[in-house]
Structure 1
Amino acid sequence: VPDFLKDCILALISQDLTTEGIFRKSGNIRGLKDMCDTLDAQPNRHDWLDFFQAQSNVQLAAFIKRFLRELPEPLLTWKLHKLFIMSSKATTLIGALSIMHYAICILPKPNRDMLLTVLALLHWIAQHSAHNKMDYENLARVMAPNIL
């Protein structure tokens, strides 16, 4: 998992996670571009925590979505795309879980590590769903296009 993504997630979870629609909101487009330009200008930098802590929680969530969406290959990979879709169409829970487990196991290790990191963040966000309205279903709805 890239250092900047870990620092972005740490900065996000240290902020108020009860903001309604935290992952549904798009953030400031100009601010996102500036964030990306700053990251691109310093490719060898390893400590991004202070940089990300200066951003709003909505901006950080939008940055994470943008990063995932703009990966050269989707996080769940083109090769395994059909397998992940198949898991959502399984007729039984056991079938769906079995297919999903298999698909995650055969993901390339960097993708699997990043997926587990992102899922841990989303679980953390969902723990505040009474306030932020981002339960698992809503998070899946806004995040799926960014990782598939």
Structure 2
Amino acid sequence: MKIGELARLAGCPVETVRYYEREQLLPAAIRDQNNNYRHYDKRHLEQLVFIRRCRSLEMTHDEIRELLAARSQPDAGCSAIDGLIQAHLEHVRTRMAELQALEAELNDLRGRCDAARATRHCGILHELDHQAPPAREPTAAHGSHVAGRLHGSDVSGSV
């Protein structure tokens, strides 16, 4: 199948397929010698769907590489996979705590506003102008996880 069909079957843009190939998450396609078109098979589709599922769970490319390597060894033990998922779960919990703290801070800030006032008397703007920044800075939960992302995406808003 050509790249457009692979992308359609996997539910992602063509650029996402190219991106995963460049990142070496997806094996390179066989090139047609006549027109240089990429040709993919069922194995590519299965792997692309697997990658997209992992990305929907906010897994990093390195985590996905580990899972792909484990997937290629069906008779090996799965304790490393369990450990990877446990570590990822801890990163998710950390991010959730960060988001809850952010929510509380925004609620506090929002409580300083009286919509009936003129902007020059806005409590929110006053707090933002005069309050010291919080001790915490928005940080990624780990590795290449991106702080502030609610849904994993790589290219064109697709996962």
Range into which the TM-score falls when normalised by the shorter chain:
under 0.3
Report the TM-score, using the length of structure 2 for normalisation: 0.23
Report the TM-score, using the length of structure 1 for normalisation: 0.24
Kindly indicate which of the two structures has a greater share of residues assigned to helix. 1
**Structure with the larger RCO, 1 or 2 (CA within 8 Å, 6+ apart):** 1
